């Protein structure tokens, strides 16, 4: 390892990678110097290293263009790739590329897989600390032989890099946690707690945890939507297209739609929580790529992340009430709203055409000179070639074709005479 100092942040620049250490925990970024996404991530990576400087984690980065053998051995297929290695095990990060999200991922991975809580006051502190995310809580004796406890620890061992798992004795539970059984499992999010009931929930505990680990109105990125499509395949995503700056203004249309969605959830959460996951997008870029058109801000639609199909309301989102929004969502579930999009061949061609034209437009809007050179030079060369082909005189004088035969005929005629 070689250490590089920048803004008082110690990021280890890797010259080689050894991942077989028994007590080694490494958070690594695999990058290429020419990669634009990697360049944008570098300042964030330094902030991550500073935040984790007191944790038992080595934060490092590896230039894959200089260490191709290591890149091949570790099967690095894209840049940047963020991975964490814990005692020889690999944990790939696919989430949002922000300091908070990466630090949260690292703290989950360093474990323990299930974190014990000694009393209710410690639970209250955890609830306050993780109020913006979701965590799972087992109320039960760790050493008691129970299938549900064993399954909880098995799932936690598999998913501890994606969610926080805690354990507490039932007698230490606050009164707000309803637990009439010897073993209870809760998901705590959005200021409340939901009890897992294996007799009502048809899914296994693992599927329930996968589907329940997202809080209400999660800020979504491309990576988040993909992961939600894999985890919440039994739920539809209610996507609100908002703007972070406008969202903070009390009388803005964006704030109005945000308040409408939150009030609808507060009133009808029992009817909606098993069928929908609410998310919001900062800006319309992702929504444009889904709907294949320019989407106004604010707006709302329902999205199936697995099939890439979507549903649109008949009226403007700002004209809705809580009851109208609820009715629209119920109509989607009952099949009364037309499904659009999908992954068919025609839709795939439309998506390619839209993304190509959008990329060209963005290039001309942001870098007009470069775009003119990029497209103008090949077009100019092609035009010259076409002009040369079309203007070349390919006609041949008839004398050039028949001159020899005419002379031969004349000679023969003279001989006969």
Residue of 35 and 242 predicted with greater confidence = 242
Is the pLDDT score of 120 beyond 70? yes
**Residue 323 reports pLDDT greater than 60:** yes
For residue 368, give Cα distances in angstroms to 235, 359, 360. Answer: 43, 13, 10
**Does domain 2-109 sit in CATH 3.40.50.1000?**
no
Would you say residue 413 has pLDDT above 90? no
Minimum mean pLDDT among 24-33, 49-58, 340-349, 353-362: which range?
353-362
- Judged by average pLDDT, the poorest of 18-22, 24-28, 182-186, 305-309 is 18-22
- The average confidence (pLDDT) of the chain is 83
Beta bridge mates, 302: 238, 311
**Which residues in 162-295 belong to E strands, given as ranges?**
164-168, 184-189, 192-195, 218-219, 236-242, 276-282
Taking 90 as the threshold, does the pLDDT of residue 301 lie above it? Answer: yes
Global pTM exceeds 0.75: no
The hierarchical CATH code for the domain 218-343 is 3.40.30.10
For residue range 141-175, what is the model confidence (pLDDT) as tens digits?
Answer: 887 788 899 999 999 999 998 899 999 998 899 88
Tokens of 31: 């990058």
More confident residue, 295 or 400: 295
Q: Does the structure show a pLDDT above 90 at 329?
A: yes
To the nearest whole percent, how much of the chain has pLDDT over 90? 33
The candidate with the shortest Cα–Cα distance to 10, out of 63, 66, 70, 54, is: 54
Burial 374-411 (b: 16+ CB within 10 A, else e): eeeeeeeeeeeeeeeeeeeeeeeeeeeeeeeeeeeeee
Per-residue pLDDT averaged across 26-35, rounded? 89
Residue 328's pLDDT is what?
Answer: 95
Q: Is the pLDDT of residue 372 over 60?
A: yes
Least confident stretch, 108-122, 269-283, 373-387: 373-387
At residue 166, the pLDDT reads: 95
Sequence ranges of the domains in the chain: 2-109, 115-212, 218-343, 347-380
pLDDT at position 8, please? 38
∠355-361-362 over CA atoms, to 5°? 85
The CATH T-level fold of domain 115-212 is: Glutaredoxin (3.40.30)
Same fold, 115-212 and 218-343: yes
Q: What angle do CA 32, 38, 42 make, to 5 degrees?
A: 115
Q: pLDDT, tens digit, for every residue of 168-217? A: 998 899 888 888 778 899 999 988 888 888 776 667 888 889 888 888 88
Model confidence band, residue 364 (pLDDT cutoffs 50, 70, 90): confident
Q: Determine contact, residues 240/320, Cβ cutoff 8 Å.
A: no
Residue 310 has which token pair? Answer: 């979507």
Residue 3 pLDDT: 41
């Amino acid at each position: 390892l070689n250490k590089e100092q920048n803004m008082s942040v110690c990021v280890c620049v890797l010259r080689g990678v050894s991942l077989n250490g028994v007590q080694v925990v490494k958070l690594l970024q695999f990058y290429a110097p020419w990669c634009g996404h990697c360049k944008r991530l570098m300042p964030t990576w330094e902030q991550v290293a500073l935040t984790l400087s007191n944790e038992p984690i080595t934060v490092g980065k590896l230039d894959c263009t200089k260490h191709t053998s290591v890149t091949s051995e570790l099967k690095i297929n894209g840049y940047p790739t963020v991975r964490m290695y814990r005692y020889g095990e690999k944990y790939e990060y696919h989430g949002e590329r922000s300091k908070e999200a990466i630090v949260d991922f690292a703290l989950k991975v360093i474990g323990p897989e299930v974190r014990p809580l000694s009393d209710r006051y410690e639970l209250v502190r955890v609830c306050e600390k993780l109020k913006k995310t979701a965590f799972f809580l087992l109320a039960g004796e760790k050493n008691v032989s129970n299938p549900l406890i064993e399954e909880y620890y098995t799932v936690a061992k598999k998913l501890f890099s994606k969610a926080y798992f805690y354990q507490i004795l039932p007698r230490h539970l606050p009164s707000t946690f309803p637990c009439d059984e010897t073993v209870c499992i809760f998901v705590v999010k959005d200021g409340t707690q939901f009890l897992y009931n294996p007799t009502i929930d048809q899914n296994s505990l693992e599927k329930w945890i996968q589907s329940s680990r997202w809080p209400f109105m999660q800020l979504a990125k491309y990576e988040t939507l993909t992961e939600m499509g894999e985890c919440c395949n039994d739920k539809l995503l209610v996507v609100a297209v908002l703007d972070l700056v406008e969202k903070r203004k009390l009388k803005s249309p964006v704030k109005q739609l945000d308040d409408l969605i939150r009030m609808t959830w507060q009133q009808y959460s029992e009817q909606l929580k098993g069928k929908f996951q609410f998310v919001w997008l900062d800006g319309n870029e992702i929504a444009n790529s889904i709907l294949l058109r320019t989407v106004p801000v604010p707006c709302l639609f329902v999205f199936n992340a697995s099939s890439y199909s979507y549903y649109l309301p008949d009226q403007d989102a700002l004209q809705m009430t809580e009851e109208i929004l609820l009715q629209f969502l119920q109509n989607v579930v009952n099949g009364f709203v037309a499904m659009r999009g999908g992954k068919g061949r025609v839709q795939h061609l439309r998506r390619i055409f839209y993304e190509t034209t959008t990329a060209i437009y963005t290039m001309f809007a942001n870098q007009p000179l470069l775009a003119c050179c990029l497209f103008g030079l090949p077009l100019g060369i092609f035009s010259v070639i076409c002009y040369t082909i079309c203007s070349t005189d390919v006609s041949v004088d008839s004398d050039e074709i028949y001159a020899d035969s005419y002379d031969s005929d004349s000679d023969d005629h003279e001989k006969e005479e």
